[in-house]
Amino acid sequence: MNPRRWWLAGAFFWLVLMGKPAGASAATPVEVHPKINATFGEQILFQARFSPAARVKKAVLFYRPAWQQAKTFFSEMTLEPDGTAFFAHDLRQTPFPAFVTVYYWFRLTLTDGSTYTSPSFAFVLTDTRFHWQTMEAPPFQVFWYRGSAGFARKIADAAAAGLKQAQALWNAPAPESVTIYAYASPQALQSALGLQNWAAGHASPRLGAVYVALPPGPEQEAEIRRLVPHELAHYLLYHAAGDLGYANLPAWLNEGLASVTERSPNPDYTAALEHAAQTGQWLPLSGLCAYFPNDASGALLAYAESASFTRYLLKRYGRTAIHTLVLTYAQGVGCREGVVQALGEPLPLLMRDWQRSITPHSTLAEALNRLLPWLLLLGAVAASLAAGAWVGRKSAA
């Protein structure tokens, strides 16, 4: 047979294999036809039809949300004589976040005593409480349910501006694709993801998405320019540092880089820094390595310090050094050791220099404090001389 006929025969054989339905080969004893019926916040109904039904004695369902790598759920399904089976996962008892990909498969016990494990299937748990619209703006895909297409365009534009800013500041990686889900209220976002009641945004690289709460109103445009780039920066940091590396990033650097990426910075940060400078009640950056304070005023100051300190480091060392700092922490280096290894200075010294840079009057104040005893002495001498002169003039009179 000539080479051309060999090629045609091989292609025909490949097409025959590709044309067979799943589970139809001789090595597959049972065909599996899955079906999912999910209502977000209530339940996921797993269904399947096994053929031939007479061969299946028992069916066990295994399923795993993509964000929960170490947790696999399993349960025996209710099996009907016609080969249909079902099991309902109660999302009210064990909730899953919105838009998570859920992988599932079946392990069947056959009537001859053997077992068969099906291929893995997958579905996305959509937030069915809302009717979602979508807009493509590569590399971004925006989902929203309240507002016009112009609203979605503003989100995509803010994401593009945030990406450009992050790449200019610390050489952020270029993402292949990012999905952005815009909720119309913080409460809807928090219930969708199981977040704390103050969260207005969340980046979930494991879910491959950014989530933001953007309520209608006069502040919406400013929030778009602030919140979308901020959460996108977290997403990009994850892809730059990796799973374990991202977890090792100091909170002040993680939130600091996200904050300086914002296109509409939080105006409350300036007031918080000014108050700390006047009172001397700073939060040590070494105490912001793992987490931020839970109280509102402490959290605000932590964010303000992180943003200002990170901006200072960028101005002093440049984006390449900050990118190196991120990669250094990604290797598992400790919070205090990371800045020394990447920047050559200890964290307390950097904090002192940063505080001086944002409170230029402090140098004058320190000088006056040092001169105060001498100024008091000089004042006393001057007063004594003035008193003596006054007495002399009175005696002469």
Give the model confidence (pLDDT) of 76-106 as tens digits. 999 999 999 999 999 999 999 999 999 999 9
Q: Which CATH number fits domain 21-124: 3.20.20.10, 2.60.40.10, 3.50.50.100, 3.40.47.10?
A: 2.60.40.10
* Range name among 181-185, 209-213, 235-239, 366-370 with the lowest pLDDT average: 366-370
Please report which confidence band the pLDDT of residue 384 belongs to, taking 50, 70 and 90 as the band edges: low
Of the pLDDT bands very low, low, confident and very high (cuts 50, 70, 90), residue 380 is: low
pLDDT digits (tens, 9 = 90+) for 130-174: 999 999 999 999 999 999 999 999 999 999 999 999 999 999 999
Q: Does 206 score more than 60 pLDDT?
A: yes
Amino acid at 11: A
Residue 346 contacts residue 338 (beta carbons within 8 Å): no
User: How much is the pLDDT for 251?
Assistant: 97
Q: Which CATH class is domain 130-241?
A: alpha beta
| 218 has pLDDT over 90 | yes
Q: What's the mean pLDDT when you consider all of the chain? A: 87
- pLDDT tens digits for range 276-285: 999 999 999 9
The domain spans of the chain are 21-124, 130-241, 242-359
Beta strands in the chain (DSSP E): 31-39, 43-51, 56-65, 73-76, 78-79, 84-90, 101-110, 115-117, 121-124, 133-137, 140-144, 178-183, 201-204, 209-213
CA 143, 147, 153, 157 torsion-angle sign:
negative
Give the mean pLDDT of 43-66. 96
Tokens of 201: 């945004």
* DSSP assignments along 128-196, one per residue: TTS--EEEEETTEEEEESSS-HHHHHHHHHHHHHHHHHHHHHH-PPPPS-EEEEEESSHHHHHHHHT--
Rounded Cα–Cα distance for residues 183 and 219 (Å)? 15
Distance CA 274, CA 270 (A): 6
21-124 shares its CATH topology with 130-241: no
Mean pLDDT, residues 363-377 taken together: 48
